[in-house]
Structure formats: C-alpha cells, structure tokens
Amino acid sequence: MRRSIPVIFVLVIVIVLPVSFIKKEKASKEELGKLLFFDPILSKDHTISCASCHKPEYAFADTSAVSRGVTRKKGSRNTPSAMNVSLLTSFFWDGRAADLEEQALAPVENVTEMNLPLRQALYRLKNNKNYYRLFQEAFADQPTARNLAEAIAAFERTLETSDSPFDNWKFSDDPNAVTDGVKRGFALFSGKGKCTSCHFGSNFTNNDFRNIGLFNARNLKDSGRSLISGKTEDVGRFKTPGLRNVAITAPYMHNGIFKTLKQVIDFYNDPGKIVPNAINRDSLLSKSLGLTTQEKKDIEAFLHSLTDKRFNEVVKRK
C-alpha cells in the first residue's frame, strides 16, 4: 500500500516554494545613477569615478585645491560639492552647463578628468550585462547619452541636506540648537558682512557670477565666466557657491587658494590686502568691512552651523 505524503511536508512545499519566485523590484533611475557615480567604468583607464573627486564624507566635494583625473592629470579648478544642487540654475564655476544632465556628462569626456569619449562609455555600458539590465529596468531602453545623464542627475538630486543646527534654530524654533556666537554670526553675515548680497536663499547662493578679486592677469589668470560668455565684463567672475556644509568642503574658491574658513573671512574682510592688484573687483568689496577678531569668529561659527548632522563624525575629526 502506497504511503501518503505527510501533511507537514505538503505544507512546507506550499510555504517555501513561492519565496523563491518573489520578483525583485526594478532598479530606479536614482539607484542606477548612484552605481554609475561610484563606478570607475566611466573613466578611460578604469581608475576614477565621480566619487573620486566628489567624496561623500566631505559633502561630495574634494579635499585638494584641484583634483586629479586619469593618469594623475592635475585639474585647474577646485571640485565643488555635488550636494544641494537641485535648485541651481547653472553648473561648474563658469556656468558652462545649464542643467544637471549636461553637467553629469561633461567630466566623462573631459581630457583632464575621466577622458573617455561618450560613445566608448556607452559601448562599455551596453556590453556590461548588469548595466544593460539595469538600464532596461530603469528606462526600458539600452544605455544612451540621454538616459546616462538622466540617471546620474537623478542621483545627484537626492543629495539634499536640511538637518543642520542652523535649520533647527531658524526653521524648527529651537533656540538652543545653536550658540550665541552663531546667532551673532548670522546677524553679521546678514548685515555688516554684506554676505547676503550674494549668499541667500535655502542654499545660500544667488545663482549668479561675481568677481570677488581673485583675478589679476598675472599669477591669478583664470578669467572664469568670460571664457564662456565672451563678455569683457565677465572677466574674473565665477559662480557664487552655496554654503551648506561649507565647513567640511575646504579648500575654498575656484582655485582652492584658501585652506580654512578663517582665511576666507579674512579675505572678504579686506580683499585688497590679500590681492592688491585685482582687476574689476566687485564694488561690494571695494572697502574693508572692518570686522573685529570676535566678529570674524562669530561668522565662522555661523558657517559651521550650516553643517548637516550626517557629517558630525567628520566635524569631530577636524
């Protein structure tokens, strides 16, 4: 007589088998963009990725005055933070990219950075089984220039921060979130320091270009925005950077000339003292601000208060 299958065995089959057939969720554009951002597949010699210069632990900025690309080629400008970029209206220090998608592809083909022709980058992605599948999942299409840019830009748009001591003080009504020095510093930043003439809004930038006095056609020869616009009045103008997480994105300025926030504040206090022969410096900086030592410290304290709490460990190490 044939023995029947025990009931418990049947139940196990019914319960376990469906688990192996659960379908994995499709990759999103943001997830694909994140993989691409950290993968050296987009550089000529497979040695660097976007994250090589935009270091996550330093608010997606670099710690060098200028970054190095493939074969250790030295760049000419400081790497800006890739965080809090969703509201920006132009990209790069000279504003040569109009949107995040255009910005995303530029370093790939730049001979000093990743130095990989776009057609070769797409060839690699199309012939990589994993990436081909992920592009199909995210875009229902094979890798193209358009969706490659869209994926990286989608990831960059997720890199927003708004949980800093300053935010908790100003927008969450917590009077104890910052020190009295920070409060004094913000008042100086908004008043005597004239900083809000250029640094305002949620990301502390006017999305414009200014000549702050770092062009003299001698040792400081980068003419900035004029290389793109062709306008004489744009000589020496550079994009006003946002200030969120600025305390951990040193060195500063388009050429990384200043190593500390103290040096930056000293410069703005009296630009002519640091660069006496600047050409076409903005009229806002024509005279010394007359900041005292304590006022400078208070402004620096305010700038530190713009650091998102996710970077607390980095701040402790500094």
Catalytic amino acids? 113
- Could you tell me how far CA 100 lies from the centroid of its own chain? 11
CA distance 195 to 197: 5
The string over 168-181, giving b where at least 16 C-beta atoms fall within 10 Å of a residue's C-beta and e elsewhere, is bbeeeeeeebbbeb
Let me know: does 82 contact 54? Beta carbons within 8 Å. Answer: yes
In the numeric block, the tokens 């050409």 are attached to 279
Q: Is 69 helix (H, G, I), strand (E, B) or coil?
A: coil
In DSSP terms, 224 is beta-bridged to 237
CA distance 108 to 165: 36
The token pair at 297 is 């410290």
